[in-house]
Each structure stands twice: as structure tokens, then as C-alpha cells.
Amino acid sequence: MALSIEDLHSIQLGAWPTPLRPNPTLGQVVGIPDLWIKRDDLTGFSWGGNKVRAVEYLIADALRAGATEVVLAGGPSSNFAAVMAAAARSVGLGAHQVSYGSEPTDPVAALIAARSVGAQVHFTESPHRAEMETMATSLGRRRVEVGAVPYVVPRGGASDVGALGFIAAAIELDKQADETSDVPTTIVIPLGSGGSTAGLVAGLCCSHRNWKVHAVSVSRAPEDIEEDIVNKSIRCAALAGVTLTSAAVTSCLNVHDGRNPGFGKLSAEQERFATEMSTKTGLLIDPTYNAKTLFWLRDASLNTPILYWHTGGSLGALDFMLSSRRRSHRESQQSTADTESVR
């Protein structure tokens, strides 16, 4: 049976297709002259990024289920949470966000963005990210008791329905490859919750081209996430009417470890590299997903040409710029104070 997403419910929020072009300037910084970019930093809704694709299917599913609000799991710096909250509000649904930890002391752009569209944020008071889903489920139950109809969404929108957004992305890319010559078939993409990679691989498995996806995991060890992705690919393909085998999925998928030195952290070298990429290319490079993945790509020995899937992360890029600015301001004040104490 052919892959078909036309009959599945989605609402259009983004501007599709996102551009697909060679980017020799970024290629030069990364050391891959023949580098193309799929510009999901330009998805065109709210703060943009790859998550707009998942949100189009999740919101449609919530509306079909008669929901009055969404209850979503998302850390304070979650791009997904900010975009999902904006999408919920755009169709008149309420938005609750369950975040790990407690209210951050420093401002976090994604949290400000979610609250700016009216999301109510609840903290788990625990550092364990998995507890967000537990609390989101129990909050959902409490909301039912007061008459609300909640639609509960896991971290990153990585449900089988959310993954459909990247089946649509795979179909979009395959069509662009039909219309454009020399599109690279080796893809590198950041991997967080795994929903985007699962949908992408499911969609690309059904193409006549021999696509290969290299997903760079920034939060979990590859061995702890690969099986989840394969199973999610199979399940979301089934929603789109296709039976996939795990052998078909794994032949298209490679998961790599891009965590070093830890989720959301950059080494001094990675930080310099992220800054160099932004200053030389004008692209927004967020520290958590795209900087880490491009750093991994720089040192990987993949056969070129490469198609890099830029997943956005404008809010994280903004936090990165502000914290770099604050640090250089502190350093310059310190050096002025040191000079004055020597005089």
C-alpha cells in the first residue's frame, strides 16, 4: 500500500515547502564544500523550527478529539512547548506546560514565549525529565475533574501522531529532489525526543531513492533511543497506511552520539565553533541541537555531499547570544577593575 497522508488530519500553520539549497558558506566552516541545507529554521509559524511540523498534526488531533486545552510536557527551554502553546492558542485552545525543576532564576526565552501566549506553566520540582510526562498525565486527570477536555502531549510532541509531521517532511523532500538536480541523499539531523527522525525515516523508507539518515542524539545514548525510534517509525507509517519492517527502517537510519559534554552544554571549542558559524553564515545556530550536530558533522567522516537538516531553535539561539553577551560584559568589567587596581 502506498504512503498516504492526505487523509490524515492536520491544520496548516507553516509555510511549505521549506527551502532546500546548497550552502557553501556553512560548508566551508564545517569542512564539507558540498553541503546543502533543508531550512526548517524557516517553517514560518511562531518561533518556527522543526516542531511546527509535529504541531500541525497534534493540534488537528486535539480538535478532532474535542479538546478544550492541551497539556504538554516540555522543559523550560523547550522550543516545542513554546510553538505548541502558540498553536493551541491560535485555534482557541488553552495551554498548560509541565516543566521539570522549578522556576528558573535567569530568564529563559522559550518559557517567556510560552507564557506570552497565555500558557500556564507547572513545575515538577524534580530534576528528572521523565517526571514531566507523569505530572502531565496527572494534571490531565485533574483538569477532567473540573470539566476541561485536555489533550496530553509527551515531550517534544513525540507521539505517533506528532511523528506524522516528518512523514510529510519526507514526502516534501522527495518531491524537491524530483524537481532539483544533485540533491544529496545523505541527511544529517539533530535528534532529541526522536519524533522528527522517526517520521523522516518512515517517509524516506517509502521513496525509490536510497536515502540515509544520520541522526545525532543530543540528550540520550544512541543505544537507549534507537529502538524507540524504529518502533515509532513503524507505528507512524502504519497510521499513514504502510507496513514497514524494522530491517527497512534500520537500513536507512544511523544514530550517533552527539551529547558531549552533556545535554544543553557546550565545550569551549564547541562554543567558539557555534559563534564562528553564526558570524560567518548569518544563520541562527542554537547551542542545544544545531551547534552540537554540526560540531559532530565537522569531525565525522561521512561521504559527501551532505544534506544538513537545520531544525531551527531560534529561542535557544537567543538565550545563547544573551548569555555570551552577559559573560563578555562581566569579563570586560573584571578586566577594567583589574587594570584599575594595578594603577
Ligand X SMILES: Cc1ncc(COP(=O)(O)O)c(C=O)c1O
Distance CA 49, CA 41 (A): 5
| One residue of 10, 18, 97, 196 binding ligand X per CB under 6 A | 196
User: Least Å distance between CB 197 and ligand X?
Assistant: 6
Radius of gyration of the chain (CA): 20
Nearest by Cα to 22 from 40, 39, 45, 43: 39
Query: Could you say whether residue 18 binds ligand X (CB under 6 A)?
Result: no
CB 116 within 8 A of CB 82: no
| One residue of 23, 46, 50, 233 binding ligand X per CB under 6 A | 50
Query: Could you say whether residue 193 binds ligand X (CB under 6 A)?
Result: yes
Residue 76, preceding bond cis, omega within 30 degrees? no
Query: Could you say whether residue 14 binds ligand X (CB under 6 A)?
Result: no
Distance CA 204, CA 67 (A): 32
User: Least Å distance between CB 311 and ligand X?
Assistant: 3
Q: How many residues does the chain have?
A: 343
| One residue of 18, 43, 46, 197 binding ligand X per CB under 6 A | 197
Q: Which of residues 128-147 bind ligand X (CB under 6 A)?
A: none
Query: Could you say whether residue 258 binds ligand X (CB under 6 A)?
Result: no
Q: How remote is the C-alpha of 216 from its chain's centroid?
A: 12
Beta strand 35-39 pairing with 20-22: antiparallel
Query: Could you say whether residue 236 binds ligand X (CB under 6 A)?
Result: no
Query: Could you say whether residue 47 binds ligand X (CB under 6 A)?
Result: no
Residue 57 or 80: the one with the smaller Cβ distance to ligand X is 80
Binding-site size, ligand X (CB under 6 A) = 20
What the block records as the C-alpha cell of 60 is 488537528
Binding residues for ligand X (CB under 6 A): 49-51, 79-80, 156, 158, 190-197, 286, 289, 311-313
